[in-house]
A and B are shown apart, each in its own frame.
Chain A
Amino acid sequence: MEALLLQVLNGLDKGGAYALIALGLTLVFGTLGVVNFAHGALFMLGAFVAVSVQNVLTISKKVKDESITFFDAYKETPYLEIWWGDFGSLIIDFSVPIAILVAIPVMLLIGLAMERGLVRHFYKREHADQILVTFGLAIVLQEIVKANFGANPIPISAPDAVAGSVDIGSMFGLTGVVYPWWRILYLCFSLAVIAGVFAFLHMTTFGMVVRAGMHDRETVGLLGIDIQRRFTIVFGLAAVVAGLAGVMYTPILPPDYHMGMDFLVLSFVVVVVGGMGSLPGAVAAGFLLGILQSFFSMNEVKQYLPGIDQIIIYLVAVIILLVRPRGLMGKD
C-alpha cells in the first residue's frame, strides 16, 4: 500500500516535471509551427542561470591552505557570510528561489533574441530546415556552457528548510510514506506555472489573439493585428517556462551541459503523445507517462517483465499514437 502510494507520488512528481518541460515546446509548435530542437538547450540554460546565481552569491574570500605547496588550495568563505553573517548564509541558502527571479528576465531576453535573430526567419521554411538550424543552435549553446562550466555536474542545493523530506503518511495514518519537500514543491510549482500559462492564453485579450493566430494566422493578420509581435512574445514565454523548469530541477538533478539533449527526446515524446500543439494534451501526457513509468519500475512488475521500465515510455507512446491518430488531444 505504502509502496503503491509512493509510486503514485513519484508519478505525479515526474508528470509535473515532464509537463512543465514539454509545455514550452508545444506552445512554440502550436503557435509558430516551429519544431524547436533547441528547446532542451533552453531548459539547460535555465539550470545554468541557477548555477551562475549560486556562483555569484558564493563569491568567496579565499584563505590559502598553507599545508599544500604544490598548487593553490583554498578554504573558501563567501563574502556574503563575512559581511552579513547569518543573513548572508540565508541568502546563499535561498540561491535557487533567487535564481527563479533572475531566470525570468534572463530567459525572456534569450527567448526574444532567439526568435528575432533566428527562428523568425524559419517560419516559412520546411521542418527539416528548422530541425537542422535549431539543432545547430543547441549544440553551439551547450558547447559554450561546457567551455565555461566544464562537463561535470555541478551540485546545487535547495534551501535547507525544504532540502529534506516530509512524512506525508502520518497525516493519513500511514507509516513510511516519506517524500522530499523539494519534489512536492516542484509539483506545486509546475501546476501553478501550467495554470498561469492557461490563464494567460484563455483569459487575456493577448492570449485570445494568439490562440486565434494558432488557428488561422492569415485572417488574424488581415484584421490588422500585428500577430508577428505577439508570436515573438509567445516564444519568449516558452523560453521562460523552459528555463524555470530547468532552475527548479537543479536540486534534483545536478546540472551539466548535456542535460538539455537528455531531455529533448522525452519532451518531444510528451508533446506528441499529448497531441502536437495541444497544451492540455501535453499536460495530460506528462502525467500519464510519469505515472506509468513509476509503476512499471516497481520490482513486482519488473520481475515478470524484465527491462519493461527501460521502454515503457516509448511503448505507451506507440500504443497511444496507433490508437489515437493525433495523440491524446491533438487537433486535425
Chain B
Amino acid sequence: MSDEIKKFGTLSRRGFLKASVAGAAVTAAPTILINKAHAYINEPKGGTVTLGFNVPQTGAYADEGADELRAYKLAVKHLNGEGDGGMLNTMTNKALTGNGVLGKKVAYVTGDTQTKSDAARASAKRMIEKDGAIMITGGSSSGVAVAVQSLCHEVGVIFMAGLTHSNDTTGKDKRKYGFRHFFNTEMSGAALAPVLEKEFGNDRVAYHLTADYTWGWSQEGSIKKYTEALGWKTKAAVRTPLGAGDFSQYITPVLNSGADVLVLNHYGKDMVNSLTQAVQFGLRDKMVNGKQFQIVVPLFSRLMAQGAGENIKGIYGSTNWNWSLTDEGSRAFVKSFGAEYGFPPSQAAHTCYVQTLLYANACQMAGTFNPCGVIEALEGFEFDGMGNGPTEYRADDHQCFKDVLVVRGNENPSSQFDLLKVVQVTPRAQVEYPASMLGGELGECRA
C-alpha cells in the first residue's frame, strides 16, 4: 500500500487532471521510478512539518479529546520555541533545541475520531492523503487506537497513541509504526494488587462487572490474574453491554452474591453510571463476610471522577499521571498548561503532550523524518523528566515502561480539581513483564 500511496501522493501534488483522465491506466504504471523520487510518504518539503492530531471532538469522549487537543497545541508551541518551553526544560536525553524540529517549524492539522474506528481511520487518511501529515497521534479508546495504528503501519506513517489502555495495542495488535506512552491493563493489575492487599487483605471475594468489548475483557483478565495471585477469589465476572445506561439489573445480583469487592471494568460514561448506581444500591455501606464492602475502579481519570462526583470518594484505582505530582517535569507541564488554559491538564493531555515531544525528539535524534529512522531512535529510548520518572520505550513492543500511580478518590478535596489522591507510586520494576507474554508481531519497517 505504501507504494501506491506514494505514487498517488505524488500525483495529487502534480494536479488531479492527470489522475482523473488517465484513470486506470495510471494504476498499472510501474512504481519504481516514482519511488526513487520519494524516499518516504509525506516527506516534509519547505519550512514546515505537519503533524496530525486525531482526537474525539464529538461523542462521549469529546471533553477528553478537547483536553488532548489543548496539550497538542501547547506541545507545538513549545517545539517552535514559543511559550515557556514546558517539559522541554526538564526532559533528559534531549536532542531538541526549541527551534522547531530539524530546523522546520511544526504545523498541525486536526480531525474528529468520533470514537469510531471508521471515522478515525477516515480522518487519519485525510490528514495523510490531503494534508500531508508525517505523523498521526491521539485518540481516546483502544478500539480506535488499534484501528488507526494498523492503518498507519500499512501506509508507513508513525502513530503515537493517545489514551489507550488495552493490552492489545502493544500486545496482540502491536505494529512497527505504532508507539504507546500510556500504560495498560497488565500494569494496572500489577500496580493495584499490592495496594489492594494492603488495604483490603488477601481474603476477599471479588465480583466483576465488565464492559462487553475488548478493553473490558483485557482489564478483567489482568485484574483477575493479579488479585487471584493474592489469594482473592472471583465470584463472578458479568459482561454488561456498552452504554447500558441503567446497570440496576447487573448490580442487584451483587448484593447477595457473597462477594465483598466489586470491580468495575468500565470507563467513561459506563463507569460514571455504574459507580453512581452501585453506591445508590448501598453497596459501600454493606458488611459482607464480616468485612466492609469495597468498590474498585481499575482505570481512573480525573474527568471521569468529575462525572461521578461524591461517589468517587475513597475508591481505589490506577492512573497514568496526575497533575498533583510534584516532580520537576510534571510541575513544568502543569505550570505552562495552567498558565495557558487556566486549569490543570488531564492524564490524556499529559500522555499526548509527551508523545508529541518524544516524536519530535526522535526525529531530531535521527536527523530525519524518515519513519524508519524515527522508529530506530524511539526504540529503546530512555528518558526522564516527563512526569513518570525514568522511562523506557521498549524496543520489543513499543510500550513505555514507567512508574504507575495508584490513586484514591479524594475524601476531602482542597479544590475543584483535587479529586484524586496519589496513594502509591508503584515502581517500574514491579509492573514490567516480558514482551513475549502478550504476543503479537511488530512487522518490519519498509524503507
- In the complex, which residues of chain A have a beta carbon less than 8 angstroms from the beta carbon of B239? 302
What are 13 A-B residue pairs whose CB atoms fall within 8 Å in the complex? A14-B249, A74-B415, A146-B62, A150-B62, A151-B60, A155-B310, A157-B309, A178-B255, A251-B280, A252-B246, A253-B276, A294-B248, A299-B236
Q: Does the CB pair A153–B307 fall under 8 Å?
A: yes
Which of A39-47, A101-109, A118-126, A254-262 makes up part of the contact surface? A254-262
Question: Is there a chain B Cβ closer than 8 Å to A76's Cβ?
Answer: yes
Q: A254-B276, A293-B249 are in contact. Are A2 and B256 (CB under 8 A)?
A: yes
Minimum distance in angstroms from A86 CB to a CB of chain B: 19
Asked if A85 is an interface residue, CB under 8 A from chain B, the answer is no
B245 within 8 A of A: yes
The verdict on A253 contacting B246 (CB below 8 Å), with A7-B252, A157-B309 known, is yes
| Given contacts A157-B309, A251-B280, A164 and B285 within 8 Å (CB-CB) | yes
Tell me if B20 counts as interface (CB < 8 A to partner A): no
Binary A-proximity of B232-258 (CB < 8 A = 1, otherwise 0):
000010110101011011101101100
Q: A164-B285, A299-B236 known; A155 and B309 CB under 8 Å?
A: yes
Chain B: minimal CB distance from A74 (Å)? 6
Residues of A near B416 (CB, < 8 A) are: 73-74, 76
Q: Counting CB contacts under 8 A, is B282 at the interface?
A: yes
Give the shortest distance, in Å, between A232 (CB) and chain B (any CB): 32
A151 to B112, CA, bound (A): 14
B61 within 8 A of A: yes
Contact with A along B306-319 (1 / 0, CB 8 A): 11111100000000
Which interface class (under 10, 10 to 19, 20 to 34, 35 or more) fits A? Answer: 35 or more
Given known pairs A74-B415, A165-B280, A178-B281, the reply for A155 and B307 (CB within 8 Å) is: yes
Q: Which of B272, B273, B310, B334 contacts A70 (CB 8 A)?
A: B334
Cross-chain contact A3 with B256 (CB below 8 angstroms): yes
Give chain A residues whose Cβ lies under 8 Å from the Cβ of B255.
2, 6, 176, 178
Q: Hey, which chain B residues are within 8 Å of A293, CB to CB?
A: 249
Question: In this complex, what residue of A is CB-closest to B251?
Answer: A10
**Contact A10 B269, CB 8 Å, known A71-B338, A298-B253:** no
Asked if B343 lies at the interface with its beta carbon under 8 angstroms from chain A, I say: yes
- Cα distance A256–B331 in the bound complex, in angstroms: 32
**The one of B307, B339, B418 that contacts A73, using a Cβ cutoff of 8 Å:** B418
Considering the complex of A and B, which 4 residue pairs feature the smallest CB-CB distances, nearest first?
Answer: A155-B309, A71-B338, A70-B338, A151-B62
A89 within 8 A of B: no
Q: Which of A146-202 contact B (CB under 8 A)?
A: 146, 150-157, 163-165, 176, 178-180, 182-183
Interface of B is mostly: helix
Query: How many contacts A-B (CB < 8 Å)?
Result: 143
For B269, list chain A residues within 8 Å (CB): 153, 256
Most chain A CB atoms below 10 A, which of B239, B269, B308, B338 = B269
Q: Are B249 and A10 in contact (CB under 8 A)?
A: yes
Using CB atoms and an 8 Å cutoff, list the residues of chain A in contact with chain B: 2-3, 6-7, 9-10, 13-14, 17, 65, 67-76, 146, 150-157, 163-165, 176, 178-180, 182-183, 251-254, 256, 258, 262-263, 293-294, 297-299, 302, 309-310
Q: Which residue of chain B is the closest to A146 with respect to CB atoms?
A: B62
Contacting pair A176 B60 (CB below 8 A): no
Residues on the B chain within 8 Å of A7, using CB: 249, 252
Q: For the complex, what is the distance from the CA of A153 to the CA of B307, rounded to whole Å?
A: 5
Known: A74-B415, A302-B239. 18 other contacts (CB 8 A): A6-B253, A69-B335, A71-B341, A71-B344, A150-B62, A155-B306, A156-B309, A164-B285, A165-B280, A178-B255, A180-B277, A183-B280, A252-B246, A254-B272, A254-B273, A262-B243, A297-B249, A299-B238
Q: Does B34 contact A (CB under 8 A)?
A: no
Interface: B59 (CB within 8 A): yes
Verify A152–B307 contact, CB threshold 8 A.
yes
> Which chain A residue shows the least CB distance to B332?
A70
